[in-house]
Every structure is written in C-alpha cells, then in structure tokens.
Amino acid sequence: MDTPDSPHMPDTPTPSSATEPRTSYLEEKAFKARTLLIFGSVTDVTAADVTRRLIALDADSADPIDILVSSPGGHLESGDTIHDVVRFIAAPVNMIGTGWVGSAATHLYLSVPRERRYCLPNTRFLIHQPSGGSGGPASDIAIQAREIVKARERIARTIARETGKSLEEVLIDIERDRWLSAEEAVDYGLVSRIIERKTELRAV
C-alpha cells in the first residue's frame, strides 16, 4: 500500500488489470469449448453467472454443454435455479463431478438424465437433508421448521426420481450425512459412469 512518502509507480499494473487479458482469454476458450465450471459454494451470484452462460450457450448452438462441478453445496434455492434452468434450455447438458459434489451441488448435479451424469475417479458425493438456523419468535421458528421439512421431502423426491430408489429409502439415507465414493455413487444411481479422459465423454 502506498503511503504519502512512498513513490507512485504508474507503470506497474494492478493485479486486476494484469489478470484481465488472461481472464478474457480463458472465458472465450471456455465458451468455445461449451464448458462451464461450478466450483466453490453455490450462491445467488453463482446461480446468476451459470444461468447467464447456459442461456448464451443454448442460444449459440444445440450442441452439448459440459458442466464440471466441484462444490460442497451452499444455498439450496440457488442450486434450484441452476437445476431448473439446465432442464429448461434445449441444449443437452453433461454433468461431470470432480473433487467433491455435496448437498445443493448434488441437487443441481441431478438436473440431467442419468446417462449424462459422469464423474472423475476421485470424486466424492454427499447427500443429506437441508439444515438451517432457527431464531426469532416461536412462530417464526415453527415456520422455518416446516419449510425445512418441505425442502427435505423435495430433495428426497428428486434423488429418488433420478436414482430409481424409493422415496422411503432416500429419506432414511439423507437423515444423516451420506458420503459416497465414485464407485458407490454409480451403485447408488447418482452417476452413470466414471471417466478419466474427455474422449470417454463422447464415446457413448
């Protein structure tokens, strides 16, 4: 940080200006490759960014869009937005799990048909019921509790629909954190195939 006594260096680029050309280059390459990344927590900012890109790619071509997901989850309704928009657009989407796919990220991952759900070998998956803090007047706490129960049932229905499990079985499975390796996720029905190379993605 400059102080009143320190010299000003106009020829030294700031970190943001230095990375701008590189960022623009990568953005352009990713768009041409029809590839999106969902990394880190799922937030309203994430949802807005992914939705904008999905709509743009859908308008550009009917070719498949690849989404790489590595996320612990986050805001459920933001995950809902991505989930619904993936199902809304016309272009098919391939979901590719990597690192870990948990909670709300698992929910958006399940937005595509099973045959389009892939993961890399070291991916871990987490399914569980939603959580939320309760505070305020007793009436507000009761409302929050009812909403969590409804969200739990909605998540369970999605998992059941997309894995072929019964709703009763899924409700039991998500009562506590349920971690699955890539192989276990295939057995459970979350994932269609484990792949190691991009060429395997097209070999269907």
| Active-site position among 71, 78, 103, 192 | 103
At 83, list the tokens: 């989930």
Active site residue 103: yes
| Active-site position among 71, 107, 111, 128 | 128
In sequence order, what are the residues at sequence separation of 6 or more whose Cβ sits closer than 8 angstroms to the Cβ of residue 30?
36, 37
Residue closest to 105 by CA, chosen among 76, 85, 67, 130: 76
Task: Evaluate the CA torsion angle 62, 64, 70, 72 in order and state its sign.
Answer: positive
Number of residues assigned to the chain: 204
Active site residue 41: no
Q: How far is CA 1 from CA 8, 9, 19, 20, in A?
A: 10, 11, 19, 21
Active site residues: 103, 128
